[in-house]
Amino acid sequence: MRVLLQLPEGLKGKALKLAEKLEREGKEVVISCSPCYGGCDIALEEARKCKADRIIQYGHSPFPIKSRIPIEFVEYRTPVKFKRVIKKALKELRGFKKIGLVTTVQHIGQLGEIKGFLERNGKKVFVGRHGKRAKYNGQILGCDVGSVRSIEKKVDCFLFFGGGLFHAVGGAVATEKPFLAVDPFMRNLKWMEEERRKEMGRRKGALLAALTAKNFGIICSTKPGQFNLKTARKLKGMLKRNGRNAEILICNEVNYESLNNFLEIDCFVNTACPRIAEDYERVRKPILGVEEVEKIIKIKRT
């Protein structure tokens, strides 16, 4: 059996050991060295080219992708000592009773322990129902914050447990409630109001700029979990019916330098990963989400 092994950037350092393990099991291994951004980003074309019998992607929970080549998702868990940093967080949470708890798949196995620890310290803790793309309650993805939205009305604030700010920003923008990011690796805490304000400001600015835009480029990614040509075609039709020029721009990985070469385009529309728009500073032109196109059309009509 020939296997295509795929890992996100943070786990590529483990690729050789994982490949050796698979080879000891009698498998032939080919390692993808392309960037991998999530469970949505399966290297199907690479698997086809090397005639792989199976794709094994490490690091992410299963993602709903249709593929003739079997896909095996191997989740990566990182158990960490959390009591010290959660005790630190409790000081920040003194004014809040009802806490919404969210994390990534990396720490989902410890969510129950963290919940129990918070409850023993007087908090009422809620773990939300996951959305369509996430697998676990309390889990958030860059494109799925259902675990936040499902309990927003029940809680006073949210606590995100995990490294970095990528997932924390997505969670914070999905709610108006206070949002505390707790990083168990750096052992630091960060209230996300400033990041939320910045992202909401970006969206408002993009909407205002798009109102006067004439030429639109609709970004459509061929990544298996992001490919949305049907929506791209629908948006193109909507824009044209409302007096705008629109063309579909198809790619695998969004290259910002390449987008900047489309000098005639006034505004981009993103149908791929919803977090792409946050890199607007690299594009120098407004980037709208799908729902925001509908908003500018409604505004124009009124």
pLDDT tens for 26-82 read: 999 999 999 999 999 999 999 999 999 999 999 999 999 999 999 999 999 999 999
Amino acid 270: pLDDT: 96
The CATH label, of 3.90.870.10, 3.40.50.2300, 3.40.50.11850, 3.60.20.10, for the domain at 83-191 is: 3.40.50.11850
Rounded average pLDDT over 83-89:
98
Torsion of CA 176, 178, 183, 184, to 10 degrees: -120
Q: What is the mean pLDDT of the chain?
A: 96
In eight-state DSSP terms, residue 152 is: G
Give the rounded percent of residues in the chain with a pLDDT score beyond 70. Answer: 99
* Distance separating alpha carbons of residues 240 and 269, to the nearest angstrom: 14
Closest CA to 55 of 122, 116, 110, 7: 7
The CATH architecture to which 199-301 belongs is 3-Layer(aba) Sandwich (3.40)
pLDDT tens string 131-176? 999 999 999 999 999 999 999 999 999 999 999 999 999 999 999 9
Q: Does domain 2-74 have CATH number 3.40.50.11840?
A: yes
Confidence tier at 302 by pLDDT (50, 70, 90)? low
Domain assignments of the chain as residue spans, ordered by start:
2-74, 83-191, 199-301
For residue 278, is pLDDT > 90? no
Domains 83-191 and 199-301 alike in fold: yes
Rounded average pLDDT over 183-190:
97
Amino acid 275: pLDDT: 87
* Distance separating alpha carbons of residues 54 and 59, to the nearest angstrom: 16
**Most confidently predicted of 213-217, 283-287, 294-298:** 213-217
pTM (two decimals) = 0.91
56 phi and psi angles, rounded to 5 deg? -115, 115
Q: Which residue has the tokens 């994390």?
A: 103
For residue 300, is pLDDT > 80? no
